[in-house]
């Protein structure tokens, strides 16, 4: 049996922003005072979307919605195996291509070396590695557990992607004020690099949402893709010129995906069916979403 849930995107995103921004700006103050980052504030900042999703599920949703959420985390049968090569190899390959283009334009060939350390937080290698793996999973439990669907229930997929990309980018704002963070260093290098950070969300979200709805809203698949997105940016000694080119490569791929799937992106708003596992509900990509 399929059910339709009444989503409340305004409440969800307000909660996600409040939880993240309060803790994020506390971390920013701590960093400028020379204090160690409070692990509780750090976790709460990154868990904002997930905590917001849990609140929405237990206050405004029923057990069927929660069962559907759990199913989309652990049920690997939702994943169409034809998309796995793209999920696993596209982002690292796109980064290598971007570096090669930048080298052809005169940038250092040393960019092809594997990075000696991850640069999420300067001088904190273990913390950076944990963030690269843990944060994408925590984020996607919230964003794909509730947030993206909540927007898609109101708009078509293209508008959903643009709106969510803008919100996702703004959600990251506090980290720009944390001393020693990767994002804070972008402003010091050049404002255009900081702008590229935000612009990059738009093609990335289009690709992620395409994969999300083509794989029956599998949260685990998108969490994996998100992890690979983070590691692809940190795996090599790529400079910011290469990362700007990387955004361009993502944009080209996103445009190709949209052109080849116009009705999928520009049709009516998405039909988000909540499947009750207790009734052995099932669905396929073809009968849920237009191609």
Give me the active site residues, please: 139, 172
Q: Beta partners for 121?
A: 181
Three-state secondary structure readout of 74-87: HCHHHCCHHHHHHH
What number of residues does the chain have? 291
Helix axes 48-60, 125-142, angle to 10 degrees: 30
Q: How many whole angstroms separate alpha carbon 47 and alpha carbon 137?
A: 10
Q: How many whole angstroms separate alpha carbon 169 and alpha carbon 158?
A: 17
Q: Nearest CA to 91 among 227, 210, 215?
A: 227
Residue 159 CB contacts under 8 Å (≥ 6 apart), including other chains: none
Q: How many whole angstroms separate alpha carbon 102 and alpha carbon 207?
A: 23
Q: How many whole angstroms separate alpha carbon 104 and alpha carbon 261?
A: 33
Question: Which structure tokens are listed for 18?
Answer: 């409040």
Q: Nearest CA to 180 among 120, 136, 134, 116?
A: 120
What helix, strand, coil percent values describe the chain, rounded to 5?
A: 75, 5, 20
* CB half-sphere exposure, 92, CA atoms < 13 A: 13
Q: How many whole angstroms separate alpha carbon 246 and alpha carbon 253?
A: 11
Question: Which structure tokens are listed for 242?
Answer: 């290469």
């Amino acid at each position: 049996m399929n059910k339709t849930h009444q989503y409340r995107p305004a409440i969800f995103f307000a909660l996600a922003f409040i939880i993240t921004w309060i803790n994020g700006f506390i971390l920013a103050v701590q960093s400028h005072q020379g204090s160690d980052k409070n692990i509780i504030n750090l976790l709460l900042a990154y868990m904002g979307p997930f905590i917001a999703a849990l609140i929405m599920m237990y206050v405004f949703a029923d057990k069927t919605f929660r069962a559907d959420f759990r199913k989309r985390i652990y049920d690997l049968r939702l994943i169409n195996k034809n998309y796995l090569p793209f999920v696993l190899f596209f982002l690292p390959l796109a980064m290598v291509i971007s570096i090669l283009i930048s080298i052809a334009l005169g940038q250092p060939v040393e960019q092809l070396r594997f990075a000696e350390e991850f640069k999420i937080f300067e001088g904190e290698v273990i913390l950076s590695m944990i963030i690269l793996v843990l944060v994408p999973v925590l984020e996607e439990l919230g964003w794909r557990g509730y947030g993206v669907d909540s927007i898609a229930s109101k708009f078509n997929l293209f508008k959903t992607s643009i709106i969510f990309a803008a919100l996702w980018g703004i959600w990251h704002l506090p980290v720009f004020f944390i001393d020693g963070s990767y994002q804070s260093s972008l402003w010091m290098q050049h404002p255009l690099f900081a702008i590229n950070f935000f612009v990059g969300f738009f093609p990335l979200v289009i690709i992620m949402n395409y994969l999300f709805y083509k794989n029956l809203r599998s949260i685990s698949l998108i969490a994996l893709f998100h992890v690979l997105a983070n590691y692809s940016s940190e795996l090599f000694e790529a400079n910011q010129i290469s990362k700007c080119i990387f955004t361009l490569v993502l944009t080209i791929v996103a445009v190709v995906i949209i052109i080849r799937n116009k009705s999928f992106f520009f049709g009516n708003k998405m039909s988000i069916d909540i499947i009750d596992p207790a009734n052995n509900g099932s669905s396929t990509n073809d009968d849920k979403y237009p191609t």
